[in-house]
């Protein structure tokens, strides 16, 4: 077998996880591939509530034949995606109404644009 005890970040005492070895000191987590049915159910639950905790998460994981950690991480990632989409939608609405003017890449004189800039908290 491979002796990775000299690598930083490896722990021989912990439980074996879904990791694969790509050579010495190259441990990478195997990416979870969700089935379409699992994704559909996860999305349904996310529409109801953006945070899944406690027994609800345990029950959902068991129903979908996933680990609790997989469900937890999916919700974390989905919240990030949701926030990013919300920010983009707000920015699009503001630019539509002329509140924020897109800065062109060829503008070099920033003094002219300082007075036109509107600070808007999204």
The domain ranges of the chain are 36-94
CB 19 within 8 A of CB 30: yes
* Mean pLDDT (whole number) for 86-104: 77
Q: 67: pLDDT confidence band, cut at 50, 70 and 90? A: very high
Which residue would you say has higher pLDDT here, 7 or 64?
A: 64
Rounded Cα distance, 37 and 12, in Å:
35
| Interior angle at CA 93, CA 90 and CA 99, nearest 5 | 100
Higher pLDDT: 121 or 113? It is 121
How far apart CA 117 and CA 100 sit, in angstroms, is: 7
Asked if pLDDT for residue 47 goes beyond 70, the answer is yes
The stretch 6-32 carries a mean pLDDT of 62
Give the residue-averaged pLDDT of 48-69.
95
pTM of the shown model: 0.58
Residue range 36-94, CATH number: 1.10.10.60
Condensed to tens digits (0 to 9), the pLDDT of residues 30-45 reads 888 999 999 999 999 9
What CA–CA distance (Å, rounded) separates 44 from 102? 35
User: Given this model, what pLDDT does residue 24 score?
Assistant: 64
- Residue 25 pLDDT class (50, 70, 90 cuts): low
- Sign (positive or negative) of CA dihedral 106, 112, 115, 116: negative
């Amino acid at each position: 077998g491979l002796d990775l005890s000299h690598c930083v970040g490896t722990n021989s005492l912990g439980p074996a996880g879904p990791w694969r070895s790509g050579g010495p000191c190259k441990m990478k987590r195997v990416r979870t591939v969700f089935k379409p049915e699992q994704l559909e159910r996860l999305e349904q639950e996310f529409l109801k509530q953006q945070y899944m905790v406690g027994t609800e998460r345990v029950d959902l994981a068991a129903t979908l034949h996933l680990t609790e950690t997989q469900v937890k991480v999916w919700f974390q990632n989905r919240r990030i995606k949701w926030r990013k989409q919300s920010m983009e939608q707000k920015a699009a609405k503001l630019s539509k109404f002329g509140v924020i003017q897109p800065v062109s890449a060829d503008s070099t004189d920033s003094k002219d644009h300082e007075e036109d800039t509107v600070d808007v908290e999204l």
